[in-house]
Amino acid sequence: MAMALDFSGLEPASLRQHSYSDPAAHWEPQCSFPLPKVADLDGFQKAAVDLLKPAHGTTTLAFEFQGGIIVAADSRASMGQYISSQSVKKILEINPYLLGTMAGGAADCQFWQRNLGTRCRLHELANKRRISVAGASKLLANTLYSYRGMGLSMGTMIAGWDETGPALFYVDSEGGRTKGTLFSVGSGSTYAYGILDSGYKFEMSVEEAVELGRRAIYHATFRDGASGGVASVYHIGPQGWKKISGDDVSELHYQYYPPESQASAPDVVEEQPMQQG
């Protein structure tokens, strides 16, 4: 005589598709998106991107060293040539021991990393233990692989500290997933690599590593027009992540390169007398 009451109408949409009795259900991402009914989907997506100019994010880096992992990023978002924001959070706090970075499409990164946070929490509840960094990055990579070719643009790093120690993965919208010890992603990444590669030593102290990350972001913002704003630096240790610093890059410029005297800053041209004739 026991009758189960049907509460399905009250459940939030995102949980309704979950089915623990069917393990294969875990393989599918929980979201399904309507598609426009056009013959040339790629052409449509390209035209939509040109028309709507979704916000883009741009220089991020992360590296492992003896003291853990350093993750650093700038904070500029551009919509076409317009700087839509100088205060975007590009280091996303998935949970207290996992960080994700944002490069490429801002909406794609925000949405899918929040989705990743939800799924990591569901994993904890289902398995009574935290998810590993390898597991979290694989969840994201599998999701992105299933949308491969549809125009998502994400170059993200998943960094964290789990039972095996520190771990760093690069995951992108092509569906690729790579474990590594040093990555930089975004339009300013080439400039950041120059600083990182010349200053990197595995035995660095935490202070030296933080300064290297900060300096690399500064140099990328100096040369890349699509990077700027505030250089944020996080450190991941055995207890999880901690934000170490957030510095306006224009203030960093004058800290690293103070003008020799008040009158002759390196970017101010001395007045020349007008040429005759």
Partner 1 sequence: MAVLVAKRTSADVEMAHGFKEHATWSPYENNGGTCVAIAGSDYCIVAADTRLSLGYSILTRGHSKLFKLSDTAVMASSGFQADVRTLQKNLEARQKGYYHQHGKPMSCPAMAQLLSNTLYYKRFFPYYSFNVLGGLDTEGKGCVYTYDAVGSYERTGYSTQGSGAELIMPILDNQLKSASPLLYPPRETATPLTEQEALEIVKDTFASATERQIYTGDGLEIVVINKDGIHKEYLDLKKD
Enzyme catalytic residues: 58
Which of 66, 87, 178, 264 is in the footprint of partner 1 by CB under 8 A? 87
Q: Is 84 exposed, middle or buried (0-12, 13-18, 19+ CB in 10 A)?
A: middle
Question: Is 85 a binder of partner 1 (CB under 8 A)?
Answer: yes
**Distance, CA of 62 to CA of 169 (rounded, Å):** 9
Nearer to partner 1, 52 or 126 (CB): 52
**Distance, CA of 255 to CA of 87 (rounded, Å):** 21
Nearer to partner 1, 208 or 247 (CB): 247
Nearer to partner 1, 38 or 265 (CB): 38
Nearer to partner 1, 153 or 184 (CB): 153
Which of 4, 24, 39, 269 is in the footprint of partner 1 by CB under 8 A? 39
DSSP single-letter state for residue 127: H
Question: Is 47 a binder of partner 1 (CB under 8 A)?
Answer: yes
Question: Is 151 a binder of partner 1 (CB under 8 A)?
Answer: yes
**Most distant CA pair in the chain: distance in Å?**
107
In angstroms, the first-to-last Cα distance of the chain is 107
Question: Is 51 a binder of partner 1 (CB under 8 A)?
Answer: yes
Q: Looking up tokens 């100019």, which residue turns up?
A: 53
Question: Is 86 a binder of partner 1 (CB under 8 A)?
Answer: yes
**Closest separation between CB of residue 84 and partner 1, Å?**
7
Q: φ and ψ at 83, to 5 degrees? A: -85, 105
28: tokens are 């599918």
Binding part of the chain for partner 1, among 120-128, 240-248, 255-263, 264-272 by CB under 8 A, reads 240-248
Question: Is 209 a binder of partner 1 (CB under 8 A)?
Answer: no
Q: Give all strands of the β-sheet with 77-79 in edge-to-edge order.
A: 82-85, 77-79, 56-57, 104-105
Binding part of the chain for partner 1, among 59-67, 71-79, 208-216, 254-262 by CB under 8 A, reads 71-79
